[in-house]
Amino acid sequence: MAATVYFLLLLAFGYGALAIFLYFYQPRLLYLPGLPTRELVATPKQIGLEYQEIRITTQDDVALSGWFLPHQQPRATLLFLHGNAGNISHRLESLDIFHRLELAVLIIDYRGYGQSSGRPSEEGTYQDAAAALRYLGQRGVPPDQVVVFGRSLGAPIAAWLASREPVAALIVESAFASAPQIAAKLYPWLPVRWLTRFRYDTAGYAAKTSSPVLVIHSLEDEIIPFEQGRIVYDSLKGKSEFLELSGGHNDGFLVSGARYSNGIDRFLTAHVDH
């Protein structure tokens, strides 16, 4: 009997210690700027694309690094908000696809990523996106000519921005519905809804936008389950479309090939082109 009680106490202690660890170390688990590296390992020049290195200062005085890729006859300008690992130099395939879709592109690294200063936080990433949109305005590109694109972690950031500004369109790819929802799905044995310090409410923010929305998700996504994308889509009230891909979380847009690029093209033709 004593051994059983001791075992149960030990188990409870371990469970509590794990919960405390997860609560306080969430930022290090969520933000992965050093995976694989913060160093810029390539540039658009290596795939034949013209680009400009840019610096943006946020309202809380954080210096962000990014690239602006012009297009001779852009149908719109795409603001690219990437996922939680790596930096802008790991997104060359996407930049090439967007260029072929006749989009000018602004891609930024969040604070603490790549060559950007500061440390990442939920509010900080929102401020980073807002600063990027203001930068485009300074270049003469108003919000109603901007397509905000967010992949994975970038999805709730993009949705937040689109809920506050009258952008031309919102595209979210490989999105989770909210941080508590995806945490509960991935760790059902932990009380994550109480432990989660982040909200990142993609579905809630997307539901508030008046802009057309394209939700993109792969049925084979091994990190963010397909149903998370459907939850985001089902929350929408206005003009919205769903594009189903094949392939994994990090390569679905490549594996799907023409289905991916043609799907985005159809959406832009229907809702953005004038």
pLDDT value for 2: 64
Which of the following is catalytic: 109, 121, 249, 256?
Answer: 249
Residue 11 lies in a domain: no
Residue 105 lies in a domain: yes
The token pair at 115 is 């060559």
- Number of domain units in the chain: 1
Domain range for 200: 31-271
pLDDT value for 184: 79
State the pTM of this model.
0.93
pLDDT value for 196: 78
Block means of pLDDT (10 residues each) for the chain, 274 residues, are 56 52 64 93 97 98 98 97 97 98 98 97 98 98 98 98 98 96 77 78 97 98 96 92 97 97 98 87
Q: The domain that contains 264 carries what CATH number?
A: 3.40.50.1820
pLDDT value for 26: 66
Catalytic: 152? yes
Residue 15 lies in a domain: no
Residue 37 CA, chain-centre distance (Å), reads: 18
Catalytic: 210? no
The CA distances from residue 204 to 128, 155, 213, 238, in Å, are 20, 12, 13, 14
The token pair at 214 is 């394209």
pLDDT value for 108: 98
Residue 131 lies in a domain: yes
pLDDT value for 189: 63
Which of the following is catalytic: 94, 121, 152, 211?
Answer: 152
Which of the following is catalytic: 82, 217, 221, 235?
Answer: 221
pLDDT value for 120: 97
pLDDT value for 41: 96
pLDDT value for 136: 98
The token pair at 10 is 């030990």
Residue 165 lies in a domain: yes
Catalytic: 221? yes
